[in-house]
Amino acid sequence: MNSTPPTSSGRQLSLLDAVIIILTSCSILIFVFTIGAKFLGRDTFDKLPDFIKDSYSALWSAGAVAGGALAGSVVDALSRRESTKSNFVVYILVTTLLIMALIVGTIELSRSIEGPQFAVPTGATPIRVSKSTQQPVDFYLQNKLSGNPVRVRGSFEIKNGRLTGQVTESELDPMQGPGAPNVRLTTISIHVCFLAVRNGFPILTQLPEFPTEANREKISAMANLQTPYEIPEFKFSIPIEHIDNIAPPYLCAFIDGEQNAQLILF
């Protein structure tokens, strides 16, 4: 009586199978993360190293130029084999999820180990730039550490990627102690301050980087004033859709003067 050994209905992955799965998974990942970054208004994936961007540009270009022929040949080859054609989607899905978990885990681990311990300065108003406000929110800025003591009050709203507000009931007080410079202060401006990564290092950044007509108001006071100076009311508008912060952002203010004098308010 002749007997034949049982045959396996499946076959192990070949090198070609593994290459197709990995390339497909990487393409899906770069596409998903890029769309997600664009949806959140961040340019993180636009700053990838050139060798990664060039590799995927070449991959997508090849797919666009010869995609039909390549896809047809791969599908035809898979349909004629007994291998893993029925499980190919599962292999790609699992590989994609594993690589995605590795990327997210690496990011979270680096944040927990190397992330800067940063708190909003005393006297500042923390804000949530990623969430629109339902009604005006009051803010209060106060500087007590250097220069003239300043109190800045007002309210702000966040809608459609823009922070708008108004400064009211604000005052600049005489500098305490001797040595006040004889400098005229000329403008006050409202900014969004946040900690960002530049060239691999955390740097305190403000948006906009410099005062503009949309976020500043002219004043006329001496730094060595003898009586309190009432800061005029004014409105401000700041685009915030491109903020890429690694610590809580907050409202801050600058007072600029002649001879490059600058007083930072927290």
N- to C-terminal Cα separation, the chain: 92
Looking at the structure, tell me whether residues 227 and 169 fall in a common domain.
Answer: yes
| Average pLDDT rounded to a whole number, residues 112-131 | 77
Looking at the structure, tell me whether residues 86 and 184 fall in a common domain.
Answer: no
Would you say residue 9 lies in a domain? Answer: no
Looking at the structure, tell me whether residues 131 and 239 fall in a common domain.
Answer: yes
Predicted pLDDT of residue 231: 94
Dihedral of alpha carbons 182, 187, 190, 194, sign:
negative
pLDDT averaged over every residue in the chain: 77
Sequence-separated (6 or more) residues with CB below 8 Å from residue 242: 41, 42, 43, 207
**pLDDT digit string, tens, across residues 224-246:** 888 899 999 999 999 998 888 88
Looking at the structure, tell me whether residues 110 and 87 fall in a common domain.
Answer: yes
DSSP designation for 243 = -
Looking at the structure, tell me whether residues 99 and 164 fall in a common domain.
Answer: no
Predicted pLDDT of residue 18: 76
Q: Which ranges constitute the DSSP H helices of the chain?
A: 15-39, 50-79, 88-114
Take residue 148 and report the two structure tokens written for it.
């003239």
**pLDDT digit string, tens, across residues 66-121:** 444 445 555 555 555 554 455 767 887 888 888 888 878 877 776 666 555 677 88
Looking at the structure, tell me whether residues 55 and 94 fall in a common domain.
Answer: yes
Q: Compare 122 and 166 and report the one with higher pLDDT.
A: 166
| Average pLDDT rounded to a whole number, residues 138-163 | 87
Looking at the structure, tell me whether residues 196 and 254 fall in a common domain.
Answer: yes
Would you say residue 186 lies in a domain? Answer: yes
**pLDDT digit string, tens, across residues 151-196:** 999 999 999 999 999 999 899 988 766 666 778 889 999 999 998 8
Would you say residue 192 lies in a domain? Answer: yes
Q: Which structural domain range is residue 20 located in?
A: 15-114
CA-CA distance, 10 to 12, in Å (whole number)? 7
Would you say residue 230 lies in a domain? Answer: yes
